[in-house]
Amino acid sequence: EVLGLIERAGSFDALILNQQLPGLDGLTLTQKLSSDPEALPCPIVLIAATADVALNNQVKSLKNVVCLEQPVNQSSLYKALLQVTLPPRNAQTNPNSPDINKIVAEQYPLKILVAEDNLINQQVAYQWLNKMGYRADFVGNGLEVLESLHRQPYDVVLMDVHMPEMDGLSAARAITEEWTSASRPMIVAMTANAMQGDRERCLQAGMDDYVSKPIRVQELMNALKRCALMRRNIANIAESNRDNI
């Protein structure tokens, strides 16, 4: 069926294949597509039920293919798709791009959640953060931010202001209402709006910092450093208060 769909459609932006397919398993299908000289190159994510060293070794020999172990969640699938769709690391980069400190994450360790509904903006954020040494999780709206925070704590949320279902301002208000300043993440607003008063509205909603789009890497690094320092100060104050009780 997959081969028939590809033949009719011509190509897809990406394929997500389960290894355990009836008739023709995922790896065999992937190898067939990769070896077909008439087929257009298509990134493939191959999902396996368990860790399989032999399968991983076979996948590594294929171009634009990555193997993902179950159970699959939104963040792991997103990262796998980025891995097979983004240009390779050794691709030529813009000579005017800023120098990125690759040990920022070591100096300022942070668990980061990115809330952004635009895939291109997600890719940009992923690339910048990855080059700094961070491994962030990604969601697409404010409701998913709250769901993620209920599952696990984060140090920083990079929050797009305009998102479907629940926007960044509403999500920030919900976070500050539910979590204390000592337990909640730092919230950094990301918005393309440059109108006067935007920063004030973000801060009034409970956000702690602000970066404008298009995101400048130095501005993002500075915001993350400020967040790390703020978290340290809050933790020190909380510890001091406990000692005084």
The Cα–Cα gap between 31 and 94 comes to 34
Amino acid at 130: N
Sheet holding 156-160, edge to edge: 137-139, 112-115, 156-160, 186-191, 209-212
Using 50, 70 and 90 to split pLDDT, how confident is the model at 8? Answer: low
Task: Return the ∠ at Cα 77 (arms to 76 and 83), rounded to 5°.
Answer: 90
Q: Give the mean pLDDT of the chain.
A: 80
State pLDDT tens for residues 101-115. 667 898 899 999 999
| pLDDT for res 103 | 78
Weakest-pLDDT range from 17-21, 134-138, 164-168: 17-21
For residue 170, pLDDT beyond 60: yes
Nearest to 123 by CA among 241, 1, 13, 245: 13
Domains defined along the chain, listed by start:
2-85 (3.40.50.2300), 104-244 (3.40.50.2300)
The Cα–Cα gap between 233 and 31 comes to 54
Using 50, 70 and 90 to split pLDDT, how confident is the model at 71? Answer: confident
| pLDDT for res 89 | 43
Average pLDDT, integer, range 138-164: 95
- Higher-confidence residue of 77 and 41: namely 77
Task: Give the chain's radius of gyration (CA, Å).
Answer: 21
| pLDDT for res 93 | 41
Task: Return the ∠ at Cα 240 (arms to 238 and 149), rounded to 5°.
Answer: 15
